[in-house]
Amino acid sequence: MAMFKKQKKYIFVTGGVLSSIGKGISAASIGALMESRGIKVTMVKMDPYLNVDPGTMSPFQHGEVFVLDDGSETDLDLGHYSRYVQNAHFTKKNSFSSGQIYESVIRRERAGGYLGKTVQVIPHITDEIKKHIREAVSDYDLGIIEVGGTVGDIEGLPFLEAIRQMQIEEGRENTLFAHLTLVPFIPSAGELKTKPTQHSVKELREIGIQPDLLLCRTDRKLDEATKEKIGLFCNLAPNSVFSAIDVKTIYEVPLYFHEEGVDEKIVERLGIWTGRPDLKDWKKVVQRILHPKSEVTIGIVGKYTDWSESYKSLHEALIHSGVEHEVKVKVEYIDSEVIEKGDLSALEQVDGILVPGGFGERGVEGKIKAIEFARINNVPFFGICLGLQLAVIEFARNVVGLSQATSAEFDEKAEMRVIDLMDSQKEVKDLGGTMRLGAYPCEVLKKHQGKTTKAYHAYKNEKISERHRHRFEVNNEYRSKLEESGLVVSGRYVDSKKDIDLVEMVELADHPWFLACQFHPEFLSTPLKPQPLFSDFIFASLSAVQGKQVSMKGIS
Ligand code: GLN
């Protein structure tokens, strides 16, 4: 049988009018729809900023740092993509900034790679952008490429020029431009206003990009007359103008787009032959989010300054596990500094306590108190990264009796550093260089004293892989003391060739659910495949609601 090489297709997603109108979620939802039609799809994010490494950017400005298997630190859009598109393997190729593009062009220029030519934005920067896009999409049939920022920003221009050129090079039949805009309803006029959309499309057209479809973010459906008006001014058929109304949960967006006919339009326009999308799992997720059977309250104990988009994946992972158990997960933020001052009342109101990842000393004593509260009151407890380190400190202080136990992160010179840098890290002076990043294998302990461990119960597998982003480790010098006192090390990263044996998970045997992990399990959770530790933690918290203990012991 003759084999025909499938023509690669590209969808470019741009945004107009305002930032934060949901471009990442819209792009990811298109990805989910295309995947549900059986297409091999990947996603790419192009960011116009000049930072070469988003890992060093403030989470307050930029949201969470999302870590991939290969250790690249990307922005939260890669998190959205990972939650919506299940079968793509994202690597550092899937996210790049202007800074990275310029860096590679300048490096090449320094190495004499341009043979004395004048190095310019067009064609050298734009060529580099196109090369990056093509490399990221090379193993897939369809690439969805999101252009960061808003059309009209000066720094986004090279990206827009590059995608314009790609349409010429790849052919119109293989490229599609989707543009997300805002159509606000103005109460005093009693109508939807299309002018901002007209302006943003005008700007795109001035640089040679004619959008093929418009996704109009609105608070109500666009009527036919509005679609016609937008179409007329933006040079589009009205049936290429779609409403993107606010929905109750972000996981409803793929279903909503499908109802509007967005995916049908895309496959028709790109000449992709596929069957109808299989959306049954997505429907189930949305159904369960909208109609939960019960409710569980999880207290996240953190510095109040951390409560921003910086815990995006954590939040989503809790929702995913809620979906699995048909419960609504309510999150209460508990300020660790309030607990530090001795007010533990907030802890009594929640069904499960979670201490997430974090950096620095501020608020840690309050988090340690919260862990002690969870341990002695049998409240389900889940510690992540810094949460594991603090759980080990709490255990060392209050169970082993090492009252001065701490982490080298808080006191470099402390005597009892139960959490410390590995010797090999101490030699590296550059902080960035000492971070353990990306996926590492973990050996899960199946049984402890004849009983299945909580870790194995969750994973049902003795070999797993999870993503990391931290610098400090449990100090092996204290391991036997901790274990002798009852701390179960139920996960380890072992590399015997390198003589490495690190603690990855700890738990308590005689507690309903007390587990902490050194890695970040939230990065691998998706609505269609909730992460096992989150799932068991929510289940344990749910059981705690059902059999809520009457009296709670106070702690000193
Ligand atoms: N600050 C700790 C470390 O660097 C924990 C990091 C984290 O929670 N991501 O090891």
190-234 pLDDT per residue, tens: 889 999 999 999 999 999 999 999 999 999 999 999 999 999 999
Based on the fold, state whether residues 215 and 71 are members of the same structural domain.
Answer: yes
Looking at 209, 225, 241, which one is the last position of a domain?
241
Comparing 135-144, 182-191, 422-431, the range with the smallest average pLDDT is 422-431
* Domain-embedded: residue 100: yes
Nearest atom in ligand 1 to the alpha carbon of residue 359 is 1
Phi, psi of 80 (to 5 degrees): -60, -50
108 dihedral zone (left: phi>0; alpha: psi -120 to 50; beta): alpha
Residues 227 and 305 reside in one and the same domain: no
What confidence category does residue 1 fall into, taking pLDDT thresholds of 50, 70 and 90? very low
| Mutate-to-test residue for ligand 1 from 411, 420, 469, 518, highest number of ligand atoms within 8 A of CB | 469
Answer whether 312 contacts ligand 1 (Cβ < 6 A).
no
* Range 448-456 average pLDDT: 96
Measured in angstroms, how far is the CA atom of residue 150 from the centroid of ligand 1? Answer: 34
Give the residue with greater pLDDT, 59 vs 165. Answer: 165
pLDDT at 59: 54
Mean pLDDT of the chain: 91
Alpha carbon of 342 to ligand 1 centroid (Å): 25
Among residues 241, 269, 303, which one ends one of the domains? 241
One domain for residues 307 and 407: yes
Residue 536 sits in the same domain as residue 400: yes
- pLDDT attached to residue 242: 96
| Mean pLDDT, residues 276-280 | 92
Q: How confident is the model at residue 366 (pLDDT cuts 50, 70, 90)?
A: very high
**Pocket lining: 386 vs ligand 1, CB cutoff 6 Å:** yes
Domain assignment present for 236: yes
Q: What is the pLDDT of residue 468?
A: 96
Please name the helix (run of DSSP H) or strand (run of DSSP E) that holds residue 355, with its range, or none.
strand 352-355
Q: What does the pLDDT average to over 426-431?
A: 54
CA of 499 to the centre of ligand 1 (A): 23
Q: Whose CA is nearest to atom 7 of ligand 1?
A: 357
When pLDDT is cut at 50, 70 and 90, the band that residue 322 belongs to is very high
55 lines ligand 1 (CB under 6 A): no
pLDDT at 55 over 70: no
d(CA 420, CA 405): 11
Other beta carbons within 10 Å of 491: 28
Q: Which two tokens stand for residue 523?
A: 């990065």
476 in a structural domain? yes
Is the domain of 77 the same as that of 150?
yes
Give the three-class secondary structure for 107. Answer: helix
Nearest CA, atom 6, ligand 1: 470
For residues 218 and 319, membership in a common domain is answered with no
Q: What is the pLDDT of residue 65?
A: 87
Question: Rounded mean pLDDT of 306-327?
Answer: 88
Is residue 359 lining ligand 1, measured as CB closer than 6 Å?
Answer: yes
The predicted structure's pLDDT at residue 556? 40
Query: Burial level of 431, CB count in 10 A (0-12/13-18/19+)?
Result: exposed
Q: Is residue 552's pLDDT more than 70?
A: no
Residues 397 and 471 in one domain: yes
The one-letter amino acid code at 515 reads: L
- CATH code of the domain covering residue 482: 3.40.50.880
Weakest mean pLDDT among 54-68, 99-113, 257-271, 525-539? 54-68
The reported pLDDT for the residue numbered 57 is 67
Residue 387, ligand 1, Cβ within 6 A? no
Strand runs (DSSP E) across 381-453, as ranges?
381-384, 406-407, 417-420, 436-444, 447-448, 451-452
Query: Is a pLDDT exceeding 90 seen at residue 82?
Result: yes
Q: Which atom of ligand 1 is nearest to the CA of 387?
A: 8
User: Is the model's pLDDT at 427 over the cut of 70?
Assistant: no
Give the domain CATH number at 59.
3.40.50.300
In a domain, 491, yes or no: yes
pLDDT at site 345: 93
Pairing of strands 9-15, 142-147: parallel
**Considering the domain boundaries, does residue 253 fall inside one?**
no
Q: Is the CB of 472 under 6 A from ligand 1?
A: yes
Q: Which of 121-130, 148-157, 379-388, 426-435 has the lowest mean pLDDT?
A: 426-435
Atom of ligand 1 at shortest distance to CA of 356?
8
Point out the residues that are catalytic: 385, 520, 522
Structural domain count of the chain: 2
In-domain check, residue 34: no
194-198, 309-313, 504-508: range with highest mean pLDDT:
504-508
Find the mean pLDDT for residues 64-79: 90
Residues 227 and 374 in one domain: no
Last residue of a domain, one of 226, 241, 256: 241
Is the minimum distance from the CB of 356 to ligand 1 under 6 angstroms?
no
Domain annotation covers residue 278: no
Write out pLDDT tens, residues 148-159.
999 988 999 999
Note the pLDDT of residue 3: 53
Residue nearest to atom 5 of ligand 1 (CA): 386
The set of residues, in sequence order, having a beta carbon less than 8 Å from that of 508 and lying 6+ positions away, is: 375, 486, 487, 488, 514
Nearest CA to ligand 1 atom 8: 357
pLDDT of residue 544: 78
Confidence of residue 177 (pLDDT cuts 50, 70, 90): very high
| pLDDT cut 70: percent of the chain above it | 93
Asked if the model's pLDDT at residue 63 lies above 80, the reply is no
Residue 122 has pLDDT above 90, yes or no: yes
- Residue 213 and residue 360 in one domain: no
Domain that holds residue 363: 292-547
Distance 359 CA to ligand 1 centre (A): 5
Cβ of 542 less than 6 Å from ligand 1: no
Question: Could you tell me the distance, in angstroms and rounded to a whole number, from the CA of residue 492 to the centre of ligand 1?
Answer: 17
Question: Chain-centre distance of CA 478, in angstroms?
Answer: 34
Ligand 1 centroid to residue 471 C-alpha, Å: 6
Ligand 1 atom closest to residue 360's alpha carbon, by position in its atom list: 1
Q: How far is the CA of 62 from the centre of ligand 1 (A)?
A: 19
Q: Is residue 77 part of a domain?
A: yes
Q: Of 64 and 415, which is predicted with more confidence? A: 415
pLDDT tier for residue 549 given thresholds of 50, 70 and 90: very low
Ligand 1 atom at shortest distance from the alpha carbon of 357: 8
Give the dihedral sign, CA 382/385/386/390.
positive
Q: Are 298 and 318 in contact (CB under 8 A)?
A: yes
**Contact 479 CB / ligand 1 (< 6 Å):** no
223 and 296 in a single domain? The answer is: no
319 CB-side CA count, 13 A? 20
385 lines ligand 1 (CB under 6 A): yes
pLDDT by residue (tens digit) across 511-520?
Answer: 999 999 999 9
* Max Cα–Cα distance, the chain, nearest Å: 79
Element (H, E) at 342: none
**How far apart are the CA of 130 and the centre of ligand 1, in A?**
36
The answer to whether residue 369 scores a pLDDT higher than 90 is yes
**Which pLDDT does position 547 carry in this prediction?**
66
For residues 180 and 309, the model is more confident at: 180
Percent of the chain predicted with pLDDT > 90 = 81
- pLDDT at 274 > cutoff 90: no
pLDDT of residue 116: 82
Whether the CB of 471 sits within 6 Å of ligand 1: yes
Q: Which two tokens stand for residue 199?
A: 């302006």
